[in-house]
Structure 1
């Protein structure tokens, strides 16, 4: 073995922390439990819990409140090759999968790119009617649909208004309602902390979304789309609560 590969004496805890962090990063979109880490890395479970607590305190990892499994945290900057879309998929796909699995509706992740948002992940649910307004790779200007209204609502108002003015002509080409309704949905989103809209891109559709952040920066959104129905009326409040509780920063 090369001398550079020899473990450095007295640094066992450092090696363990780095091995845990590497294992979480390698999981990408999938989460991992402390027990799985303990087994894979041959580290006592109590030690794994203690080291994860340190990593979580520094935001290098985050813990899903339902499954108690871990995924990449917003402070994890060790993987410089990971672009914003990759970060959003790694960080928020577990939430999208949980929402889709629980409520049955398609749940979509978007990354903000300047004046636009790009679909970076889509998780379909079990509901027999799935709304296909976007597929992975599609872009839409900010202001087009609830998925982007949540991003605008989270931005400083002056910046949001400038973006909306810039995108207005393109939005009007596809908007199924009038621009007054769009502005009403935007004002509601600013007050509520999440966006909800209906009939904007397709008659009979409805959706909610919440902005995604990295620290103080608004980086994208997570959206749930559906056809208007009695089931949706029952589910919407629970979906909103799950989004808010899961995205507390």
Structure 2
């Protein structure tokens, strides 16, 4: 029989696990296009079907999810929509930066990406393709990656206080190996170079033969939560072109900051 202290110690862990599973199920519903079967959700979450059903029922009860009475498929609920509206000041960053993204893609000819931080990860919230024939389509809108794997997310990580960034790197140790074929030691070396340069240069972390250059979007005196990057085939990133791209991105971000103040 467990002692009281042991029981108390287990309860927070069990509660955290349920929250993790619930969040994963909500993400899976969203990624499914907004309508998902119970069996598919259970499989994606590596849960027994009855366990997934119980969690989904509580999400439905609280309005975070809904279930079609005819098809029995799950969709996001009204509470999820309401919470999304409450966070819309950040989501609106995609619309606000759309002209900048289009200019970067047009001027460079390469693919421009906009990512936004979500805890220890980033989400791609916009992608604009340039006119160069060979496309580097590393991310699509909605993709999530641990902070540090992509050029934009590495720029965000480098803009954080060192202690916070180091804690994120350690927390993502397994994710780096699984999602970007990186070791923590490699990432820490990249992170230090990013701090020294003031921008991120990321090579081949997701797509072989590609390279990206990224900068965090200034956020006044607060830490940045968004970053822009350009991705291209490796041969296009000569030293002189890197300096040209860097000057172009910095110029566009400076112009954006100036417009925000007016």
Same fold, TM exceeding 0.5?
Answer: yes
Q: Is the aligned partner of 1:100 residue 2:115?
A: no
Structure 1 residue ranges without an equivalent (≥5)? 1-78
CA distance in 2, matches of 1:105, 1:201: 17
Q: What is the rounded CA distance, in whole Å, between the counterparts of 1:164 and 1:183 in structure 2?
A: 8
The counterpart of 1:142, out of the listed 142, 147, 161, is 147
Q: CA deviation at 1:172?
A: 0.8
Matched-pair contact (CA < 8 Å) for 1:143–1:149: yes
CA distance in structure 1 between the aligned counterparts of 2:146 and 2:182, rounded to whole angstroms: 16
**Residues 1-80 of structure 1: pairs in structure 2 closer than 5 A:** none
Alpha-carbon distance between aligned partners in 2 of 1:122 and 1:183, rounded to the nearest angstrom: 27
1:239 & 1:85 partners in 2: Cα distance? 26
Number of residue pairs aligned between Structure 1 and Structure 2: 169
The superposition leaves residues 112-134 of structure 1 with CA deviations (integer Å, 9 ceiling, x where unpaired) of 11111111111001011111221
**TM-score, length basis structure 2:** 0.60
Separation of aligned partners in 2, 1:81 and 1:180 = 35
* Structure number with higher helix proportion: 2
Q: Gapped runs of 5+ residues in structure 2?
A: 1-84, 258-262
Give the match's secondary structure for 1:222.
strand
For 2:122 and 2:87, the matched residues in 1 are separated by: 21
Contact 1:89-1:109 at 8 Å conserved across structures? yes
CA contact (8 A) 1:176 1:199 kept: no
**C-alpha distance in 1, partners of 2:187/2:114?**
21
Q: Secondary structure at the match of 1:201?
A: coil
Q: Structure 1: how far apart are the matches of 2:177 and 2:232?
A: 22
1:152-231 residue pairs with structure 2 within 5 A? 152-215=157-220, 216-229=222-235, 231=236
Residue 244 of structure 2 corresponds to 238
